[in-house]
Copies of this chain bind each other. A is one copy, B any other.
Amino acid sequence: MVRRGERASEFELIARYFAPLASKAPLAYGLTDDAAVLRATAGHDLVLKTDTIVGGVHFLPGDPPQSVARKLLRVNLSDLAAKGAKPRVYLLNCSLPRDVEEGWIKAFAEGLAADQGEFGIVLVGGDTTATTGPTTLSATVIGDVPRGTMMRRKGARSGDGVWVSGNIGDAALGLRLLKGDDLGLNKSLAAQCIERYRLPQPRLALGSKLRGLAYACLDISDGVLADLGHMCDVSKVGAEISAEGIPLSAAAHRALAAGKVDISDLLTAGDDYELIFAVAAKDELKLSRVARSAGVKITKIGRIIRTRGIVVRGAHGEPMSFDRRGYQHF
């Protein structure tokens, strides 16, 4: 505990734990100035994304601070991946309980440092404040794309295939395991799901290669149905997907077989941070090559149709119905 009298001040905390994260950004001035400078690359657009995570809502009190830090960055990086952008810098807002342990901040900064290395980003500014509520963390990540090439949610056209990267639903299983649910999984499968919940994998390599190929793209944070719904709403189309075609991990297959979850849980739970995107049938060969070179599994789960709304078809082609599309805060 940072004790009164001997406790570190706001400025000391910044100098000790956050300033080193900015050491490779000369225009962040070691976080000793009021603002940072960002020099845009000629011929490029900047891509801006911000997201907040709240203790008890987006992460659990027992989550390791390192993974909280990395998840904070990764939920934002995942959006940049979906836009085809290359990440460059980030800003950080930390609202921390007054009795936060300095060890928590230290470990949190270690997580940031690890992901700075992994994703080639650097801290350029931020704000640290006290709160009487839960730890509340915002990151604003800035990347860039060649001018005019950012992928949009809008642009899916009737006849396009609907594709997803990776597997769906593991993070949802991880969250349920952390909350104490028995999903009939062995230790190793359970650990994989928890890892997927705590540490999303932003699909940056795939995203950057999808520019000019995918007509619409976003990342799955609210659940496949909700996010596909967002894509279709702004694109003024609908989609038909096959429940059987959803790519699942061994853990998800096991939990389904044991009757612990059903497919609607996996399609509506969110936190996947995979990409969902629409690609014209004529470009499927090119798409396969691109995914292979990015080292990411992709799966066609359905197609865009003219009729608005999302239809999920079961094993025998029957339309399935769902209570809700995905996670909502309010």
Interface residues, chain A, CB within 8 Å of chain B?
A: 2, 7-11, 13, 27, 29, 32-40, 45-54, 56-58, 79-80, 82-83, 85, 89, 91-93, 95, 98, 124-134, 136, 138, 140, 142, 147, 150, 152-154, 218-219, 230, 233-234, 328-330
* Shortest beta-carbon distance from A80 to chain B in Å: 7
Main secondary structure on A side of the interface with B: mixed
A/B interface sample: 15 pairs, CB < 8 A: A2-B330, A7-B330, A10-B329, A11-B328, A32-B233, A33-B218, A35-B83, A35-B150, A38-B45, A39-B147, A48-B124, A52-B93, A54-B95, A57-B131, A133-B136
Q: Which residues of the other chain, B, contact A80 by a CB distance below 8 angstroms? A: 35
> Would B57 and A129 count as touching, CB distance under 8 A?
yes
Cβ–Cβ < 8 Å partners of A138 in chain B: 50, 52, 93, 127, 138
Q: How many angstroms between the C-alpha atoms of A36 and B152 in the bound complex? A: 10
How many copies of the polypeptide does the oligomer hold? 2
Contacts of A33 in B (CB 8 A): 83, 152-154, 218, 234
Given contacts A127-B138, A329-B10, contact A35 B47 (CB under 8 A): yes
Whether A330 contacts B9 by the Cβ 8 Å rule is: yes
Question: What are the 10 closest A-B residue pairs judged by CB atoms, nearest first?
Answer: A133-B133, A40-B40, A34-B79, A38-B46, A35-B49, A130-B329, A93-B138, A10-B329, A52-B93, A50-B91
